[in-house]
Amino acid sequence: MARRCHWFRVSSAFMVQINVLLIVVGVLFMLDVVGHHYLRSQTFPGLPLYPVGLRDWLLWVRALTLLAYILNAILGIRMAKNPSVLKFALYMVIGLVVLLYNLTIASTRFMYRQKFEYFATQVTLQCWAKNMMDKLEVEFTCCGVIGVSDYQMSSTNRTWSSGSCCEKPECPGCISNIKKYLWTIEMEVARDNYFVAIFLAATLILMILFFKDVQLYDDPYEEESEDDSEYDTENYSDEIQDQPPRPQVPQRDVEAAVPDADSGAKNQPRSSLVN
């Protein structure tokens, strides 16, 4: 059975390459987390309320999850080079916990859509209250919160940004564009965590197959016993070949050297027989 399944063996070098790929993927998605934090600090700085995807606690959870993901991949490289039960168990436990966190973060992005709409609206209203709409109007090609009417109905003498589209008749309000932008960030968070979960799940399955192959095919005691038996067989055959050949005695000389008992008895004298 072992020889039939030998073609399905997962090698140590293959597992090292897979875990190196996981490290590269983790670093790339870690850069995505840093990018989301940078966008929040540049586009919506200093706001008390954010959607869930841009909150500090979720950014920290994502960063720590990816850090555990990278460290687990490093452990997987050591496991592939020097397999042991402890490393395998630790790799599987950390991998399953990280996998659960990634699936939870990714799935919750599609839940509580009403709460997302509320927080996205609050972001726009906070930017309007703090007089931060100039940059948003230029970036999102919009005017005010709902439209030009916000400037017309405002009690303060506000003027729109010179780069906005407020003078155009079909210029929309910024609330819809900001909602689309924030929802795009939520989908990027879900995408990143789904990709990480898929890579991690595939690697865990391959690691199980690798550890199974190590137990079945890479048993050092079995290999040593096979090598010793082959070595003994070879030495025995060499000893037999090194021994000099024995001289062969002709059959006639043997018969002459060993006389027949009957013939010897006949040749004896009678006196000895009588005595």
pLDDT the model gives residue 259 = 53
pLDDT over 50 at 272, yes or no? no
221 pLDDT higher than 90: no
Percent of the chain scoring above 70 in pLDDT: 73
DSSP states of 70-92 as a string?
A: HHHHHHHHHHHHS--HHHHHHHH
- Distances from the Cα of 141 to the Cαs of 31, 85, 144, 154, 209, in angstroms? 28, 59, 10, 20, 54
What gap in Å lies between CA 32 and CA 65, rounded to an integer?
A: 13
Q: Quick one: CA dihedral 215, 220, 224, 227, positive or negative?
A: positive
Averaged pLDDT, 40-65: 89
What count of other Cβ atoms lies within 10 Å of the Cβ of residue 11? 11
pLDDT, one tens digit per residue, over 107-147 is: 888 888 888 889 999 998 998 888 888 888 888 888 888 88
The token pair that represents 121 in the structure block: 């609206």
SS3 content of the chain, % helix, strand, coil (to 5): 75, 0, 25
Q: Are 29 and 196 in contact (CB under 8 A)?
A: yes
Distance CA 220, CA 211 (A): 14
The total of other beta-carbon atoms located within 10 Å of residue 229's CB is: 10
In whole angstroms, how far apart are CA 231 and each of 224, 227, 240, 242? Answer: 10, 6, 14, 16
